[in-house]
Structure 1
Amino acid sequence: MKIKIALCQINVVDNKEKNIENATSMILKAVKQNADFIVLPEMFNCPYSNEKFIEYCEEETHSPTLSKIAKLANENNTYILAGSIPEKEGSKIFNTSYLFDKNGEIIAKHQKMHLFDIDVKGKIYFKESDTLSSGNKVTIAKTDFGKVGIGICYDIRFPELAKLMAEAGAQILFYPGAFNMTTGPAHWELTFRSRALDNQVYCVGVAPALNKDASYHSYGHSIIANPWGEVIVQLDEQENMEIAEIDLEEIKKVRTELPLLKNKRSDLYKINLI
């Protein structure tokens, strides 16, 4: 089965309405090019900063952002993975991704499991846990194209999560993300190729474009890696939308040629979901 996936690398600014308008424009552009699955970046409606997470957060049931994405999915009969938004749930804020089906219904919701708390001396410091709470669920969704798994950005650095999703039958792993100008050049492509190769699946990452006026500089470089660990498409740092066609039959081919799943010593080790 072949699927056209649209990578929507949006330039996120400090204006929620403009961000939603920009996302809408890019989604409609992807629809015109017959995309089957449209993917937005992490925090596509909100600048990436703890202060803005508080200012921009929305409750799921009263979210103008999600209402707009739902409407677009329904009207255009397409799947849309709404990258992530700051989601307010009671007194907590989560970094949350929503997957909408062709009817505009939410069929999966992933709250970022691993919070981005790092301190690379002299280069970048960020502590999501100052503001955000962590999710605790592995997220798998059933679609017309089979099962997909959803993580968010820093989640990709933990191979156990990818393994759990793949073992649950996910053939495509989506990680809306926003690696920065320190970690991006070093690790972005490497991690996407690694998770695709480890699990013999397609691995998709969509990031905001680089906005030099923002306090946090996203690396961009939205990407798809195939089950052989090859990059089949990768953008640069500029705002752009690109569609790539993937073939799920490639997964079967690679798993036959290089039978990692069969050769795994499950009698000696396994990953358990607690």
Structure 2
Amino acid sequence: MNVKIATAQYDISFLENWSSYQSKVERWVVEAAEQDAKILLFPEYASMELASLFGEAVYSSLSRQLAAMQSLLDDYLDLFRSLAKKYQCIIQSGTFPVKTDSGAYRNRAYLFMPDGQIDYQDKLMMTRFENEQWLIQKGEELRYFDTEYGRIAINVCYDSEFPMLARKQVEAGANLILVPSCTDTLAGYHRVKIGCQARALENQCYVVQSTLVGHAPWSEAVDVNIGAAAIYTPVDRGFPDNGILAEGKLNAVQWVIAEVSLSACGTVREQGQVFNYRDWPLQNAF
């Protein structure tokens, strides 16, 4: 089954009120839906623009913004749930820093289904900034999700740079990995990009990256954002020679949209010029 995927180069805004956030997000969803996209991906920490609703004393403090944003979590979930149902699409909304029952914060990537169901993947591999300054803790479980288009998975940004995470998800049946990302240097963007392309090559699957873009000097957390969204593929017959199905312009504000066939992953694993997926276990012989 073919499905059209939209991945966002999403700009962070300074918001006037909650209604302006609702309007902005729905405009993005409508634009993708009008192009028949059925799986929508937003970037990591896209939700951090919500910190601007609380005033300078909050958005200029790493700890205070995390605490304040918890008051918006239910509204955030209701918004994306309603949009997924209204436009009958799957939405990965990027990530939201969620305070768990233990008191720890997790970088949580929610997945919203057209029937109203919600699931999530917590980020597992934390960057130095998250560990040392923001004190956001790693998740505890690697997950995958069944959809009408097949099984999909989520690697949050830095997670995509660790091959065994994606490998376990693909071995469990995921042929599409969504990578919401947020990077503040060109090198950081390329690290995630290279990781995504490597995961697509070695697993002969699709990997989709979304990026936060633009400058937000008011924000203590996401002041500089650099990147380009893309849809990566196996590098073999039936796919683009460079493994890039679609890619945006660096730092532009835009959707990147393309149609994929998740069943093609099974075909290339059986009939490809090489058998990256099948030959993976052979590494253990050395």
Instruction: Compute the TM-score of the two structures, normalised by the length of structure 2.
Output: 0.82
- What is the 5 A alignment of 1:262-273? 262-265=278-281, 268=284
Q: Would you say 1:169 and 2:173 are equivalent positions?
A: yes
Name the CA distance, whole Å, in 2 between partners of 1:267 and 1:232.
29
Q: Would you say 1:246 and 2:250 are equivalent positions?
A: no
Map of 1:226 onto structure 2: 233
Does structure 2 conserve the Cα–Cα contact (< 8 Å) formed by 1:59 and 1:88? no
Q: Per the alignment, in what secondary structure is the counterpart of residue 109 of structure 2?
A: strand
Cα 1:267–1:39, aligned 2, differ >3 Å: closer, same or farther? closer
Q: CA RMSD in A?
A: 2.4
Name the CA distance, whole Å, in 1 between partners of 2:11 and 2:40.
16
Does structure 2 conserve the Cα–Cα contact (< 8 Å) formed by 1:46 and 1:56? no
Letter in 2 for 1:97: A
- Cα displacement string for residues 96-155 of structure 1 (whole angstroms, at most 9, x for unaligned residues): 01111111211x2111111111xxxxxxxx344542121011110000011001121111
4+ residue runs over 4 A deviation: none
Query: What is the CA distance between 1:14 and its match in structure 2?
Result: 4.1
Gaps of 5+ in 2: 52-60, 236-241
Cα 1:267–1:6, aligned 2, differ >3 Å: closer, same or farther? closer
Does structure 2 conserve the Cα–Cα contact (< 8 Å) formed by 1:46 and 1:52? no
Does structure 1 conserve the Cα–Cα contact (< 8 Å) formed by 2:193 and 2:209? no
Identity %: 23
Letter in 2 for 1:32: E
Letter in 2 for 1:23: V
Letter in 2 for 1:261: Y
Letter in 1 for 2:268: V
Query: What is the CA distance between 1:212 and its match in structure 2?
Result: 5.5
Cα 1:135–1:32, aligned 2, differ >3 Å: closer, same or farther? same
Map of 2:30 onto structure 1: 28
1:181 to 180, 185, 193: 185
| Paired positions, count | 259
- Cα displacement string for residues 172-229 of structure 1 (whole angstroms, at most 9, x for unaligned residues): 0111011222433542332211111011110011111222635532212011100226
Cα 1:177–1:56, aligned 2, differ >3 Å: closer, same or farther? farther
Name the CA distance, whole Å, in 2 between partners of 1:174 and 1:31.
18
Does structure 2 conserve the Cα–Cα contact (< 8 Å) formed by 1:53 and 1:86? no
Letter in 2 for 1:89: T
Q: Would you say 1:7 and 2:7 are equivalent positions?
A: yes
Map of 1:87 onto structure 2: 98
